[in-house]
Amino acid sequence: MAKGKKLVYSFGGGKADGKAGMKNLLGGKGANLAEMANLGIPVPAGFTITTEMCTIYYKMDRKYPKELGAQIDLAMKKVEKVMGAVFGDSENPLLVSVRSGARVSMPGMMDTVLNLGLNDVTVQGLIKQSKNERFAWDSYRRFVQMYGDVVLGMKPQTKTEEDPFEVIIKAKKQERGIKVDTDLTVADLKELVLKFKAKIKERTGKNFPEDPKEQMWGAVNAVFGSWMGERAIKYRKINNIPGDWGTAVNVQAMVYGNMGDDSATGVAFTRNPATGERIFYGEYLINAQGEDVVAGTRTPEPVNHKTKTEASQKTLEEVMPKAYKTLEGIYKKLEKHYRDMQDIEFTIQKGKLWMLQTRNGKRTAAAAFKIAVDMVKEKMITKKEAVMRISPSQLDQLLHPTFDPKAKKVVLAKGLPASPGAASGQVVFHADDAEEQAKDGKKVILVRIETSPEDIGGMNVAQGILTAKGGMTSHAAVVARGMGKCCVAGCGDLEIDYEKQQMAVRGKVVKAGDWISLDGSSGEVMEGQVQTMQPKLTGDFGTLMGWADTFRKINVRTNGDTPNDAKVAREFGAEGIGLCRTEHMFFEGDRIKAVREMILADDLEGRKKALAKLLPMQKGDFVGIFEAMDGLPVTIRLLDPPLHEFVPHEEEAQQALANDLGTSLEKIKAKVASLHEFNPMLGHRGCRLGISYPEITEMQATAIIQAACELSKKGIKVKPEIMIPLIGSLNEFKNQRDIIKRVADEIIKKSGAKVQYMIGTMIEIPRAALLADEIAKEAEFFSFGTNDLTQMTFGYSRDDAGTFLPMYVEKGILPDDPFQVLDQQGVGKLVQMGIKLGRGTNKKLKVGICGEHGGEASSVEFCVKAGMNYVSCSPYRVPIARLAAAQAELK
Amino acid sequence: MAKGKKLVYSFGGGKADGKAGMKNLLGGKGANLAEMANLGIPVPAGFTITTEMCTIYYKMDRKYPKELGAQIDLAMKKVEKVMGAVFGDSENPLLVSVRSGARVSMPGMMDTVLNLGLNDVTVQGLIKQSKNERFAWDSYRRFVQMYGDVVLGMKPQTKTEEDPFEVIIKAKKQERGIKVDTDLTVADLKELVLKFKAKIKERTGKNFPEDPKEQMWGAVNAVFGSWMGERAIKYRKINNIPGDWGTAVNVQAMVYGNMGDDSATGVAFTRNPATGERIFYGEYLINAQGEDVVAGTRTPEPVNHKTKTEASQKTLEEVMPKAYKTLEGIYKKLEKHYRDMQDIEFTIQKGKLWMLQTRNGKRTAAAAFKIAVDMVKEKMITKKEAVMRISPSQLDQLLHPTFDPKAKKVVLAKGLPASPGAASGQVVFHADDAEEQAKDGKKVILVRIETSPEDIGGMNVAQGILTAKGGMTSHAAVVARGMGKCCVAGCGDLEIDYEKQQMAVRGKVVKAGDWISLDGSSGEVMEGQVQTMQPKLTGDFGTLMGWADTFRKINVRTNGDTPNDAKVAREFGAEGIGLCRTEHMFFEGDRIKAVREMILADDLEGRKKALAKLLPMQKGDFVGIFEAMDGLPVTIRLLDPPLHEFVPHEEEAQQALANDLGTSLEKIKAKVASLHEFNPMLGHRGCRLGISYPEITEMQATAIIQAACELSKKGIKVKPEIMIPLIGSLNEFKNQRDIIKRVADEIIKKSGAKVQYMIGTMIEIPRAALLADEIAKEAEFFSFGTNDLTQMTFGYSRDDAGTFLPMYVEKGILPDDPFQVLDQQGVGKLVQMGIKLGRGTNKKLKVGICGEHGGEASSVEFCVKAGMNYVSCSPYRVPIARLAAAQAELK
């Protein structure tokens, strides 16, 4: 299956076999390294083993085709030529890094080995070349440690066990009475290498491989193997990345940021990834390897003056002005070339700058808006491109509440504002604990000294992440931003004690389970649960959403039951109400009393009496909502839930109700018992109630139309769309429609107001979609209630599916939770059928969706394609729907 | 809308405007009267106002088009000419009857007026013509009484009030000290006419109409009006007769069976309607009007010697041999002409025989089989016609149990075996009570002195009907036979007291609510609930079903969970098992313990241990079923219900279980609570269980295949079809299929037996039908589970829909209960879609149905048309399905 295939792509020396467009084959890192090489940017030479090879590797049961060896040998020769060194040579050895690189960035998810090619012989060559014995032995020590960890599986074997190599280092330091690694002598390092190798032999039963080629194959194995590792699988699941994409392997000549004080390593963003500000923004460490920056074990310095936060910081701009100047030129070139904000990695070896990576940088939602709008102003991209640059799911974070600045708060400590947002939760100190407690519905904040890729699952379920170590580009910060999750990083004041399950903050002890709040925009860590407030959406957000609206054809409405909902949603751009649930009004204040009186009445007269009490209250609700939605359509759904939801189920409350109504407890109990249903979801609800008790429909129609007439006379434009729920047959619709029409026309005639209203139906029962042609003959609009439609099409009770749905998604039986993401294959088929049949008999039929899918991007795209007139979603998801709808048109 | 239309059809004098084929226009009675007239059979002349006129009447808001009057006048002239009398004439008055007549017979449902045309003047003419003053005045008295009741609404106004005219008669008899009507003198009758008219004036405020034309229009109004009367509407609903069919009105010259002892009236069947025996079978009364026979107020005599049951009876054959001879000739002519058993009405006026009606006679299922088979033997009809003659719903009664002749029984009394069957129930004395109690799920026997059309609702819900008065052709008997319901009529020993709500039977008192049993084949009335036994189906049944099978293409299987079910169904002609529910086996004996142990296990190991205990028991079940079904396919559905159905919900039972398993009550309670679901119908059940707990699927597959291998080695042909329930997606199917295949192939390989098995799925979730093309790629068969499919397609919980479904059917929102009759429009659309999609990707796909619809005739017809391979139903419905399937092919 690999015969004649090119499996290895070279790059370096100002040219490359690949290019940026070949991400699917070379992975993001490999493709961009090739692109940079082609652009003449200095990258250490190397080669990329393709993602296709990864797929073949798994198809061949973790073996390689013969061709691969020859192609690698050839590529290695090219690298040797460009770099002027020879792999495994005792005099001038070529050392390489071996890294993974999938189509999309999966930060820290897969494995990396540095300094590969070192052994007892080549280390001597490195000493000669670097003229630095300590550096060479430290590199060798690091290599054995890293290779042992990544390739040979030398990991802690229990939660509390320490890293086996770190134990050896600690012992050595104790023996020598020193504190920091840098105090280790050449002799110490030599001894550590021996001890590491002995430990490896002890645990694995095998000698450490001295042959550089064997080392390389081991590392390649490890990278391909890591694609199917637990961490990577979990990450892919969270981020919806298919398992058959595979990863590429990048083998690249080493350059050293740790060859002395004229060497450095760093990562940077071409613009601020948190705010989007057009400022070159990065961190670096002198005399360090790249992993030191990302891992957060040393706190790095800012690259330039503009991003300095403390006077004592030493910037790259000051320390190595020449290298900084070069870097500036390169970042500008890259941003212009890629037409997007770049996330770059660089190393300076003895004053010479080398680029190790460039990719589109992850950013917060706010930054995404700012960058997109700025780049349009800079004429770098078009408005369409700007709209396509914002991910609807990312936008979600912008719409979440922030802390109320007026709220009382006790600040415990301050860290780096690594990923914005406001989060409150109970402290946990381990990712597994976070996952377990989140399953029970708890809100948790994951607190770690530093996070590692193993923590990905816990980070995903946490409300926010707090670390004691690491900078703005640390693992925690990068991953949190990618997830749109609040993160405070590098909060040095925390003294975290995993064993005691607590942390001390300037003497104050916070235990696991205590509540704290994080402000990802200020870096503040606060005691308890701090009050939040609504976000303001203006500036770049408004500008870009305005552009989006010009591309969008479908309307976006909101689901809202109160005047306040209506107001908020209108501010978010809602163009009407797509679902106003009247029963929510039934629970408020005194109303529930009248509702219960109605339910418990023995006869029509009794029910009418109680309904008469409800009428003015219900009318008042509609007055408020119609006022708030002046000029926009408001879809009102008639009573939907089964009546037993309104009666008390505890004896005490039943007794109180009996006293209230002047009846006996027994009677109440009997009524409640008679209302009990085995499957209330499929019971006496929706239009079935209105058909059983036409007087309820009459009251609701009266309230709606009276409110409309009253406001209409005051000059307010009212567009009521009365929606009958749970229709399964034409006759049900006709029955209810006739009642509504009779009541409405009489009121309108009497009042003399000019009110136009529509009568339509929810399509939420499979049968309604199947018979949509019949129903559309009489109905003026359809609103797909995809929540219930999903329940009935799948036969899943939303209240109960928690026992198996997560397992279904985990096992890949379903791609997503169909209550979150519309099942286009099954439920969608019914929706399309319903629209086609409905429009077939009623060309003017207005069609919308009012399930929760109306605010989920892929579902909105489906609705656009299906030809709906509008989507309706919760107020906070209105902007997401607007954006998703625009993107659907642009795709 | 009536312009130029012929609204009135004449008949009589050996010719007619209409004929038998015009039933839709003339009604059954009118068409057959015309047909008889054309055949030269003596029928009193008359005319029929069409059913079309009835529809126009309602469209014109109960008014008539002008044309009608002229057409009636013309027709009346013809009648006068043929009968030699003049309507309203003082010397030789023509008197007429006015009767309803719909397309199909609706016995007693609509109104009739006799002797119309009489008034104070014409009564003198009648005296002259009849030469019988008493007869003339009695006719006049009867006419006023009947007209008052039917046209002028002179009915009892409360449940306990007596008929207002009967009150007057009673008073007169008391005053005169006489007991029977026949003792009333001419003077008495004259006085009664006056008093009746006075009572009418008192109640209605209007004079009794003396003008014969006015009388006739009143009667026509009443007949058309009765079409929309409560009784008629209820009857149509029960019998699925559309309301827009309308009724015709037959106006016909009166002939008198009560003109003295040379006059008589009677009804007869050309063969015995209870047994089908080829014996002319009828009853008559000397000197009586037809209504006297039907109403059951006098007990009539048999028409001939062959049908005499007591020596004292005087037959028509003996009393009027000449008329009987003529009648014999006519009945034979009619049967031959209509090629079916006829139900005829005749009157002998002064020795001359007149035919008043002929129609196909209602009959019991047993009679239907015998008559159909006999007529084929007599070469009167073909085998195909014979098969079409049996109504599948009627067949139902044949399949119901009869009383075990060995059962202990205390016979209270004996009446006429009016309609066969065995029924037990609690006594009720009023039709309304029957309806009310039946709603609560009670089994009732309706006991009445005699039944009337008002009782139709109560008769329909009763298990059986018992009357004290009336013969084999009384209202109770005719209606009960039509309904296929057990009836004992004319049980003279009963002393029924409606007020005390009890009856005395030879001194023994039976109260409302007491249990009795009726044997409709012997006429016995027994104390308490008598034990029943299975029916034997041989003879004519076997012959005709054999013919049916030759016309049938679809297979008929049974739903059966035990070897006994399998045996019974095989005897009924089942060609395999279409649904064997394995969970029913889980409840028996010790098994439930092991099942509970499995459910309560903490881990896989615990579950496997418990499942190992279940395995041999479950295997044993399959051995029994496979043996019984040797050579036929057996479809086995894997575990379907949610686990909470298997655990105890009462504390006492929970404690016992805790003791059994050596665990704590708290643990049991917690587990039970964790299994609770809000909508269990849509919960963790079906394949969702098998996916959560693959070990359950493994155990069941093992039990099935081990049993199959074991029997196969003994030479028994085993064809297991393993069915996965509640599939909604291809991945679910694959997951379970892979487990079953792995387990099965291993067992078969090990055992060396040659067992072929299939793996398929239920299609019972809408999504499965929508994605049937996907699923059929992997599944070998589909079985439509239309019970659940109906629940989910409609969004109806079968357990809860009782609160609104009856109301829906009553209001005409749904034509039928969709759980009884497959909803072809909605659910059927999904079924058709599923079959089409499935066969599109898998041509060999075997398709069946295993919902309860598989035994309902119209649904079976649907399945045949949809191209299914088989239907499966409960054992007792197998013959119905066989017949319905044959008829579907013949239609």
Q: Rounded to whole angstroms, what are the CA distances from A756 to A448, A633, A636, A704, A720?
A: 60, 11, 14, 12, 7
Confidence class for position B586, pLDDT limits 50, 70, 90: confident
Indicate the pLDDT class of residue B877, thresholds 50, 70 and 90: confident
What's the whole-number mean pLDDT along residues A751-757? 95
What pLDDT does A2 receive? 62
Which residue on chain A is closest to B726 by alpha carbon?
A795
Token pair 């005409």: residue: B812
Contact A766/B792, CB-based, under 8 Å?
Answer: yes
Q: Are strands A524-527 and A515-519 parallel, antiparallel or unpaired?
A: antiparallel
Query: Distance between CA atoms of B8 and B216, rounded to whole angstroms?
Result: 14
What's the full length of chain A, in residues? 891
Q: What is the pLDDT of residue B453?
A: 73
Contact A728 B767 (CB under 8 A): no
- Look at residue A46 and tell me whether its pLDDT is greater than 90: yes
For residue B693, pLDDT beyond 90: yes
Q: Which residues of B touch A645 (CB under 8 A)?
A: none
**Feature table: binding site of A for substrate:** 581, 637, 764, 785-788
Q: What is the pLDDT of residue A460?
A: 87
- Ranked by mean pLDDT, which of B129-133, B303-307, B624-628 comes out on top? B624-628
Spatial CA neighbour of A705 closest among A722, A693, A692, A690: A722
What is the model's pLDDT at position A222?
A: 94
Cα torsion B100, B101, B105, B106: sign: negative
- Catalytic option among A54, A850, A863, A873: A850
SS3 of residue B96 by DSSP:
strand
Chain-centre distance for alpha carbon A524: 22
Q: Nearest residue on chain A to B803, judged by CA atoms?
A: A684
The confidence score (pLDDT) of residue B576 equals 97
Higher pLDDT, A653 or B375: B375
Contact A145, A161 (CB under 8 A): no
Query: What average pLDDT does the structure give for chain B?
Result: 91
Q: Do B691 and A808 touch (CB under 8 A)?
A: yes
Q: Do B735 and A679 touch (CB under 8 A)?
A: no
- Say if strands B781-784 and B846-849 run parallel, antiparallel, or are unpaired: parallel
- In this prediction, residue A97 carries a pLDDT of 95
Assigned token pair, A860: 């909105």
pLDDT of residue B737: 98
Distance from CA of A796 to the nearest CA of B (A): 5
**Nearest by Cα to B579 from B827, B762, B780, B822:** B762
Q: Is the pLDDT of residue A487 over 80?
A: yes
Q: Band the pLDDT of B832: cuts 50, 70, 90.
A: very high
Give dist(CA A683, CA A670) in Å, integer: 18
Assess B316–A contact: CB distance below 8 Å, yes or no.
Answer: no
CB–CB contacts below 8 A, A to B:
166
Checking if the pLDDT of A169 tops 60, the result is yes
State the helix-helix crossing angle for B665-675 and B651-661, rounded to 10 degrees: 120
Within A670-777, strands assigned E span 719-724, 758-763
Report the range of poorest mean pLDDT among A25-29, A642-646, B372-376. A642-646
Q: What is the largest CA-CA distance in chain B?
A: 104
Write out residues 743-772 of A within 8 Å (CB-CB) of B.
764-767, 770-771
The answer to whether residues B31 and B23 touch, using CB atoms and an 8 Å cutoff, is yes
Domain B552-642+677-890 class, CATH top level: alpha beta
Is B795 in the A-facing interface, judged by CB distances under 8 Å? yes
Q: Which residues of A561-579 are buried (b: 16+ CB within 10 A; e: fewer)?
A: bbbebbbbbbebbbbbbbb
| pLDDT tens digits along B319-355 | 999 999 999 999 999 999 999 999 999 999 999 999 9
Rounded (to 5) percent helix, strand, coil in chain B: 50, 20, 35
pLDDT band at A470 (very low <50, low <70, confident <90, very high): confident
Neighbours of A589 (CB within 10 A): 8
Active site residue B584: no
> Which residue positions of A form the known binding site?
581, 637, 764, 785-788
Residues of B in contact with A829 (CB under 8 A): 770-771
Give the C-alpha separation, B394 to B307, whole Å: 25
So what's the pLDDT on residue A158?
A: 77
* Beta bridge partners of residue B360, listed in sequence order: B342
In this structure, of A115-119, A561-565, B10-14, B164-168, the range with the lowest mean pLDDT score is A561-565
For the B403-533 domain, the top CATH level (class) is alpha beta
CA angle B185, B139, B347 (to 5 degrees): 120
pLDDT greater than 90 at residue A755 = yes
Identify the burial level of A441 via C-beta atoms within 10 angstroms of its C-beta, where 0-12 means exposed, 13-18 middle and 19 or more buried. Answer: exposed
| A249 to chain B, closest Cα gap in Å | 33
d(CA A187, CA A196): 14
**Most confidently predicted of A136-145, B180-189, B475-484:** A136-145
Per-residue model confidence (pLDDT) at position B320: 96
* Positive or negative torsion for Cα A766, A767, A772, A775: negative
Cα of A212 to nearest chain B Cα, Å? 45
Question: How many whole angstroms separate alpha carbon B119 and alpha carbon B89?
Answer: 10
Q: What would the pLDDT profile of B248-274 be if each residue is shown by its tens digit?
A: 999 999 999 988 899 999 999 999 988
Predicted pLDDT of residue B2: 62
pTM for this model (two decimals): 0.80
- Could you tell me which of A790, A788, A779 has the C-alpha nearest to residue A846? A779
Tokens 């119901």 correspond to what residue?
B400
Has B851 been labeled as part of a binding site?
no
Superfamily for the A264-363 domain: ATP-grasp fold, B domain (3.30.470.20)
Q: What is the pLDDT of residue A386?
A: 97
Helix (H) or strand (E) segment spanning residue A519: strand A515-519
User: What average pLDDT does range A760-789 have in this prediction?
Assistant: 97
**Amino acid at residue number A630:** D
Angle, alpha carbons A603-B428-B464 (nearest 5°) = 120
Mean pLDDT of B121-140: 94
Q: Which of B688, B799, B829 is the closest to A804 by Cβ? A: B688
Residue B820, pLDDT score: 87
Contact B436, B462 (CB under 8 A): no
**Which distant-in-sequence residues (6+ apart) come within 8 Å of A355 by Cβ?**
A36, A41, A42, A43, A330, A344, A345, A346
CA distance A732 to chain B (A): 6
Q: What rounded mean pLDDT belongs to chain A? A: 91
Dihedrals phi, psi of A670, to nearest 5 degrees? -65, -40
Domain spans, chain B: 264-363, 403-533, 552-642+677-890
Interface check A679 vs B, CB under 8 A = yes
**A823, closest residue in chain B (CA to CA):** B767
Q: CA–CA separation, B851 vs B785, rounded Å?
A: 5
Placement of tokens 């009849």 in the chain: B130
A731: closest chain B residue by CA: B813
3-state class (DSSP) for residue B288: coil
SS3 readout for A339-368? CCCEEEEEEEECCEEEEEEEEECCCCHHHH
Active site residue A580: no
The pLDDT of residue B518 is 94
Average pLDDT (B665-672) is 90
Taking contacts as CB-CB distances below 8 angstroms, the residues of chain B near A823 are 767
In chain A, what percentage of residues exceed pLDDT 70? 98
CB distance B77 to B110 below 8 Å: no
Per-residue pLDDT tens over the stretch A498-537: 989 999 988 899 999 999 999 988 889 999 999 877 676 7
| Nearest alpha carbon to residue A481 among A415, A419, A417 | A419
Bridge pairing between strands A486-489 and A416-419? antiparallel
Q: How many Å lie between the alpha carbon of B770 and the closest alpha carbon of chain A?
A: 6
pLDDT computed for residue B135 by the predictor: 92
Chain A residue with minimum CA distance to B689:
A804
**Mean pLDDT along residues A540-568:** 93
Q: What are phi and psi of B367, to 5 degrees?
A: -65, -40
The DSSP result for B815-846, as a single string, is: SS-TTTS--TTTHHHHHHHHHHHHHHH-TT-E
Q: Is the pLDDT assigned to residue A362 strictly greater than 90?
A: no
What is the per-residue pLDDT for B348? 96
Residues B29 and B112: beta-carbon distance below 8 Å: no
Residue with tokens 């309806």: B435
For B692, which of A771, A807, A830 is closest by C-beta distance?
A: A807
For B718-741, write each residue's pLDDT tens digit. 999 999 999 999 999 999 999 999
Instruction: Using an 8 Å CB-CB cutoff, list chain A residues near B726.
Output: 795
pLDDT reading at A394 higher than 60:
yes
Question: In whole angstroms, what is the distance from residue A238 CA to residue A220 CA?
Answer: 26
What is the three-class DSSP state of B20? Answer: helix
Kindly state the helix (H) or strand (E) to which residue B497 belongs, with its residue range.
Answer: strand B494-497
Give the pLDDT confidence score for residue A831 in this predicted structure: 98
Q: Is residue B829 less than 8 Å (CB to CB) from chain A?
A: yes
Query: What's the CA gap between A25 and A8, in Å, rounded?
Result: 10
Nearest CB to A800 within list B678, B728, B766: B678
